Each structure stands twice: as structure tokens, then as C-alpha cells.
Amino acid sequence: MRIDRLATVGRTAARGMIATAAIAAIATIAVQHAAAQTQARATNPGNKATVAWAAKPATLPPYTGPNKLVYRLADVLAAHKGQANWHQEVFLSRDFEGDWVSMAPGGKTKTQFYADDRVFWVVQSGAMKVTIEGQEPFVATKHFLVQVPKRLQYSMETVGNEPVLYFQMKPAGEAPDYPLTETPTPVPGVQYVKAAYTGRGTYDDINKPYIDFEKDIVQGGEKRNVWIRDDHTYVTILRSQKATPTPPPTEWGHYHANFPEIWLIVEGTQEFLVEGEKLVTVHDGDLVAAPTGRWHRATPAGEGPSTRLAYIPRPDNLHWYQPEKAQGGN
């Protein structure tokens, strides 16, 4: 009995020593981790601005192709008055093609997919049934933000008695692919052949099949500032609760050295100043674009909240600011 008690006491003491040693080890690791973080902060400037000589075009890059400062939705609709089925290209860059698309009641797209990039759109009016491979079909209405990752088959179908209108971004210069059950739509310079493929794109914590902007954000108050993020696409949801005073013209905002930027207004009113252009005021459904290398800024205006979607092709993109405004910008 005494031997058993001694053995029990010994085991208890040993466990206590092990626990004490483990706690000490954890404490040591915590101290080392804190020290490493402190050292990292001391040696890594992080968000601290660095003033440098930044490459910028010597002359202002022009608007090319379909691109222009503003596409007002009212003007786009007026250009297609009396038509139910139409599409108009309004933006083209190295990475993206942007189109306004209207699909008549009873209309349905072919089932298709894109090989290496996602396709995404915003419903402006009407309703559509969206079917995406691996997902339950859903009905998207005004201000639904929908995205389909690479190689996921999808289709759209008008719901109701009015056309559905949406702004779509797809990969520039990339023809869609189709399952064998569909007859491919002809594309100039492209032939369709039978070939096998593997792998599918996926959704994740950031990239969801859809966001119901009106329900989730406007009414629900969700604080969501990213719609899409991958290696080739970055779309942010920039919402302001109220207007701010228009900055003086000496405040230029920022510029991007290697790609243009485009914005779609999905709520309220905003002001934009793009280098070389006059200040413009835009509203829900309007598009604004800034060519590569031009200073630009956006400011919430009007009454109540306002929101713009900002489309660029790089998630970790560089903003060049005026040195005296290096910690801010619009």
C-alpha cells in the first residue's frame, strides 16, 4: 500500500513537473513571438509611406476603344430604347471586358464557362435565375452581385415579364467554353474542338456565389468591403454613410501605374475627379473610368449613403499618393 501511494505521489509530482515545464515553454514561446513581432515592426515599415521617384506617363494616357470618363445609365438605356435584347461594350482593358447586357423575358443563356478566370456581374433591374455548377439555383434581383469562378459551368434565365439588365465583367480576349450538350456560339478566329479538362474553381470565405447588396448590406448592415479577390481580380465595395465636402482641386487622390480603374455606382451619389477631366457627379448605375497613370479621386456626395464598386486586376496593388497626402487619399 505504501509503495502504491509513493508511486502515485511520484506520478503526480512528475505530471506537475511536466505541466510546469510545458507552461514555462509556452511562456517562452510567447515571449519570443512578441519579441519577433516587435522586431518585425521595427524593421518593416508596413503602412508607413515611403517617398520615391514614381514612374508616370509623360503625357496623359487617352481613353481608348469603348472607354470614356462616364457612361451614364440613362444614356445607355436611351441608345437601346425599344429593344429588349441587347448588349453594349463600355469598358476594355488588358484584363477585363465590361458590358451592359439586357435579356428579354423568356431569354436564357447557353450553359458555358471560362477556362482561367472568373466572370461576374451586377443586376441593375429585373430578375434572373442563375444556375452554377455545384450550387443551388437562385434568383438574382436588383443589386445582386454574382460571380462564377473559372471552369464552373453556369447559365442565366430571365424571370418575370420584364427584361433583366446587368453589368457584366468577363476576361478580356477569352472565348467561353461549353459542355458537349451545347452548340458553341461562333467567335471570329476561334474553332471549337472536343477536348478534356480537369479541375474547377472554388468559392471561399471571401468569394461567394452572390451578395444581396440591398438585403445584406443596405438593410442588414453587413460591413463587407470586398466582393471578389483572387490573383487576377480585386473588386471592393466602398460604402459611405454620408457625403463629405468636395476636396480642393489640389487634392488629386492617387494613381495606378500599370492598369486602369473603373467604378460602378450601386447606391446614392458620388463625385469623381480624374486628371485632365472636369469634376463629374454620378448616380446609381453610372460607370466612371480612369486610364492607367492618371490621378483620380472619389468623394461621397448627395443625401444619405452612397456606394461604388471599384474594379482592378491586382489585389495587392500600389497606390501612388502625393507626398503630403501619403497617409490618406480617396
Alpha carbons 140 and 124: distance in angstroms, whole number: 10
Give the angle subtended at the CA of 171 by the CAs of 306 and 163, to the nearest 5°.
60
Judge contact between 316 and 271, C-beta under 8 A: no
Alpha carbons 132 and 148: distance in angstroms, whole number: 7
pLDDT, tens only, 56-77: 999 999 999 999 999 999 999 9
Work out the average pLDDT over 142-147.
99
Closest CA to 272 of 286, 259, 258: 286
Work out the average pLDDT over 194-203.
98
Of the candidate CATH numbers 1.10.3720.10, 3.40.50.300, 2.60.120.10, 3.40.50.1100, the domain formed by 70-183+193-325 belongs to 2.60.120.10
Closest CA to 128 of 112, 142, 139, 144: 139
pLDDT, tens only, 210-263: 999 999 999 999 988 999 999 999 999 999 999 999 999 999 999 999 999 999
Whether the predicted pLDDT of 22 surpasses 50: no
Judge contact between 287 and 70, C-beta under 8 A: yes
Domain ranges of the chain: 70-183+193-325
Look over the chain and give the mean of its residue pLDDT values, rounded to a whole number: 89
pTM, to two decimals: 0.84
Stated length of the chain: 330
Q: What is the pLDDT of residue 23?
A: 41
Whether the predicted pLDDT of 32 surpasses 90: no
Q: Which residue has the higher pLDDT, 315 or 24?
A: 315
Q: What is the pLDDT of residue 280?
A: 98
Q: What is the pLDDT of residue 86?
A: 99
Residues above pLDDT 90, as percent of the chain: 82
Whether the predicted pLDDT of 11 surpasses 90: no
Closest CA to 288 of 298, 303, 300, 302: 298
- For residue 129, what are the β-bridge partners? 139, 157
Q: What is the pLDDT of residue 330?
A: 39
pLDDT, tens only, 265-299: 999 999 999 999 999 999 999 999 999 999 999 99
Alpha carbons 67 and 98: distance in angstroms, whole number: 10
pLDDT, tens only, 44-60: 445 678 999 999 999 99
Q: Which residue has the higher pLDDT, 117 or 30?
A: 117
Whether the predicted pLDDT of 21 surpasses 80: no
pLDDT-wise least confident of 37-41, 197-201, 221-225, 271-275: 37-41
Concatenate the DSSP letters of all residues of 62-116 into one string. Answer: PP-TT--SEE-HHHHHHHTTT-SSEEEEEEE-SSEEEEEEEE-TT-BPPPBB-SS
pLDDT-wise least confident of 40-49, 63-72, 78-87, 115-124: 40-49
pLDDT-based confidence at residue 327 (cuts at 50, 70, 90): low
pLDDT-based confidence at residue 326 (cuts at 50, 70, 90): low
